[in-house]
Amino acid sequence: MATPEMGSAECDGMYSKLINKDEDTLYEEADQKPGSSDVQISVPSAGAAPGSRPYKLAAGCLGLICVVFLISIAVLCTHYKNLLFGVGEEHSALSHNYSSAQSTVERLSFNVSALTAAIGKLQREKGDVEKDKERLQSRVKELEEQAKPKTCPPEWLPFNTSCYFVSSRSKSWKDSNDYCAEKGGHLAIIHTPEEQTFLWNLLVRGHWNAYWFGISDEKAEGDWFWVDGTKLVGGFWMDGEPNNHIDEDCGYMVKTRNPSIPALKSWYDAPCSMYWPWICEAPNSY
């Protein structure tokens, strides 16, 4: 509502002053109500110019982008913080697992050493057991052999593991031994008193019933060897024998009519060329 005191020219002058005073200030006339005084609206110069709304929109968008950017950074920081925390926990768990695995390896290494020592001990014991087994098997075979029924041929008599033959003919010591060899044996080899007594009991008494057996010192005087090459140990010599009286290198035993002469003192030496009956010995599987 225009004041009555203010004319149109005066209003124009006031507007001109205002515009001249500040070119960046925009005056807009408010609702023109009759009789009201003019309303003055000032707008900052940057937006005062016509067409300033795109800048406002751009500023708003830029601010929004900044906010989104800041939020994104915050979210990423949180994410990576959680990720690093997870990695740390995983590293700690792996370290613990590594230590545990090392302990397990050390324990297993100790166990392997103990087992290796135990295996070595068992192998040695196994070797000892196998040797005992072989020895026992050999002994069992020997006993089975001894337990076999005696299978001596006719005119041959069994004793322990051998068969014996007492001849009724006479030959030299060498021919007697050859005869025994033809039958798969040799002149008797006498190692024990029992064997000597067994043979003695086979013989008949007589004036001078003599029998060759398998002993000789032909190779070296005084060194008596059996026909299998083993050296004589002991023997059942008559007192004063062997005496090599007339170059006597072969052994024989005598059973006279004198019952006081024992079986264990019945051996003599005589020249090997003499003719006497003989006693053969052969394995009882003969």
Residue 258 C-beta: closest distance to Ca ion, Å: 18
d(C-alpha 265, C-alpha 239), whole Å: 7
Our CB check for Ca ion shows the closer of 29 and 223 to be 223
Residue 168 C-beta: closest distance to Ca ion, Å: 24
Our CB check for Ca ion shows the closer of 26 and 190 to be 190
Single-letter amino acid code for the residue at 257 = R
d(C-alpha 171, C-alpha 77), whole Å: 126
For 269, phi then psi, to 5°, come to -110, 150
Residue 224 C-beta: closest distance to Ca ion, Å: 8
Residue 202 C-beta: closest distance to Ca ion, Å: 23
Give yes or no for a contact between 221 and 172, defined as CB atoms under 8 angstroms apart. no
Residue 270 C-beta: closest distance to Ca ion, Å: 6
249 counts as binding Ca ion under rule CB under 5 A: yes
Residues 66-125 that bind Ca ion (CB under 5 A): none
Our CB check for Ca ion shows the closer of 216 and 284 to be 216
Q: How many residues bind Ca ion (CB under 5 A)?
A: 8
Residues 192-221 that bind Ca ion (CB under 5 A): 217
Which run of H or E residues covers position 18?
helix 8-21
Within 10 angstroms of residue 146's Cβ, the number of other Cβ atoms is 10
Strand partners, 186: 281
State the binding string over 255-274 for Ca ion (x if CB under 5 A, else -).
-------------xx-----
Our CB check for Ca ion shows the closer of 269 and 281 to be 269
Token reading at 71: 């939020």
Our CB check for Ca ion shows the closer of 268 and 286 to be 268
d(C-alpha 117, C-alpha 242), whole Å: 63
Give yes or no for a contact between 278 and 179, defined as CB atoms under 8 angstroms apart. yes
Our CB check for Ca ion shows the closer of 152 and 255 to be 255
Give which of 231, 225, 219, 212 is closest to 270, Cα–Cα: 212
Give yes or no for a contact between 145 and 156, defined as CB atoms under 8 angstroms apart. no
State the binding string over 219-248 for Ca ion (x if CB under 5 A, else -).
------------------------xxx--x
Residue 238 C-beta: closest distance to Ca ion, Å: 8
Strand partners, 237: 267
Binding site for Ca ion (CB under 5 A): 217, 243-245, 248-249, 268-269
